[in-house]
Amino acid sequence: MIAGVEERIGRKFALRHCANTGAVARYPETFLDMVRPGLLLYGYGDFAAELGLKPVMALKTNVSTIKIYPAGTAISYGGIYKTTHTERIGVLPYGYADGFFRCLSNRCSLMTADGPAPQRGKICMDMCMIDLTDKPDVGIGSEIEIFGPHNPIETMAQLAGTIPYELTCAVSKRVPRHYIRGGEIIEEELMLRM
């Protein structure tokens, strides 16, 4: 096909590529001059484990405040979640403007150092809430993993009815990036410029 196109246009292609993630994993004969591994670069997708790759992207935030609410309290817009007993609710500065899909409202869990914490109520533009009732050691400033090695992105993608790639691409420019090598931050970047 390449030869036919080159003959028709009267010139040679400088670069030829047609191998996506699946082809990179399974069909080396398609490599040509370049490959497009996409999500495989992040250690995600159907072929990552097969190739011995581990996820390299994690999305984390911290608890900004904690409130105690009595039974019957509606949490967030629309009251889709009401406390069933006295509950300890943590507020996270991470919302749909950061890339947290609203369709996950009241349907997913985020990971604390003491285990999963259910997300409660509607995900707001700049924040979301999690139930910390049975996690007394998780306090203000505690790190929360949205997705990463302890909270697989595949689970969140399935709940959202999408693929992991859409969730990684949805992380907005206002979320700071930290690049880590050997456990140390080697670079930081804020893509949002004023």
Enumerate the domain spans of the chain. 2-36, 59-189
**181 beta partners:** 184
The hierarchical CATH code for the domain 59-189 is 2.40.37.10
Please give the model's pTM, rounded to 2 decimal places: 0.85
Q: Tell me the mean pLDDT in the region 72-80.
A: 95
Query: Which residues pair with residue 131 across a beta bridge?
Result: 89
Answer yes or no: are the C-beta atoms of 80 and 105 closer than 8 Å.
yes
Per-residue pLDDT of 101-119, as tens digits, reads 999 999 999 999 999 999 9
Which residue in this structure is represented by tokens 């979640």?
Answer: 81
d(CA 166, CA 2): 31
